[in-house]
Amino acid sequence: MIKQRTLSKEINAIGVGLHSGNKVNLVMKPAPVNTGIVYRRTDLSPSVDIPGDGMLVRETTLCTCLIDDLGNKISTVEHISAALAAFGVDNAIIEVDAPEIPIMDGSASPFVFLLQSAGVQEQNSPKRFIRINKKIRVEDGDKWAEFVPYDGFKVDYAIDFAHPEISNTKQHLTMDFSRASFVHEISRARTFGFMSDIELLRANNLALGGSMENAVVLDEYRILNPDGLRIDDEFVKHKVLDALGDLYLAGHSIIGEFRAYKAGHHINNLLVREMLAQQHAYEMITYEGEAKSPICYGEPALA
């Protein structure tokens, strides 16, 4: 049987909030089977738990933001969600003393390090997967995203930016998703933004924590970061990173192929919502006996 996973132990980190610019304390904790991924706001009294549920995504400007029915929110969940997806973590409590996950260095690499440091262990309950059985597609103008059946989890993603520094890099990526492919190819890709947008956002008290320490920043012609890009195709790889985190808010790993063009947080969430609405287009499955997982998460620590 392929089993559910959680963290082997609790681990802490400190970072800066993208929007507030304030220090954020983060604690990642193990959780019992069938808990799912839960974001806990410890700055509220009493503390509030917000499930990592795609149906609670109600803001997608600059990040993915979960908002419960009482208006409690947790922003910028996509990078940590992508790392949890890569390690196959089904159950975890993510505590923060702020309304946002710290932006760290703008990539998922710090969260990968935390998960590697904490370790991941199997739990004695079957892991559930969402298997796509028929095509599901959403569109918004020329932007679109879709799921199609596939024995594994494959990503086929394209971006289209006219900026000279982006258009000179690879803007299309195809990959079979696994922990190894995520850690080595995707996790280090940082978010990126344009100086003109940042100035407008700050004038509206947004992105106060954004800087070249946690983003690739561009003006009209060039990359402003002194060290340039970490990897040649960092732009498209970061968009893939975002998508992986957004899709994991479906609540389970997906067995199928994800295809997208010019999609962002909004389109990604529309696709998750459309999938959940089309109950005939997917099924929940487990793998019993000695069946091998169609997604390679790597070996867990011993429980």
Question: Residue 46: is the preceding peptide bond cis (ω within 30°)?
Answer: yes
Say how far apart CA 22 and CA 90 lie, in whole Å.
29
With H, G, I as helix, E, B as strand and everything else as coil, classify residue 200.
Answer: helix
Q: Where are the beta strands (DSSP E) in 57-135?
A: 57-59, 65-67, 73-74, 92-96, 120-126, 129-132
Name the residue among 40, 103, 110, 46 with its Cα closest to residue 74: 40
Burial of 198 (0-12, 13-18, 19+ CB in 10 A): middle
Determine contact, residues 146/260, Cβ cutoff 8 Å: yes
Residue with tokens 């940082």: 190
Distances (CA, A) of 13 to 7, 25, 91, 101, 188: 15, 6, 19, 11, 18
Residues 6 or more apart in contact with residue 188 via CB below 8 angstroms? 107, 108, 109, 230, 231
In sequence order, which residues have a C-beta less than 8 Å from that of residue 289 and are 6 or more positions away? 1
DSSP letter string over 260-291? Answer: EES--HHHHHHHHHHHHH-GGGEEEE---TTP
Catalytic residue list = 265
- Tokens coding 129: 């997967």
Q: In this structure, what token pair is assigned to residue 4?
A: 């559910």
116-143 as b/e, with b when 16 or more CB fall inside 10 Å? eebebbbbeeebbbbbbeeebebeeeeb
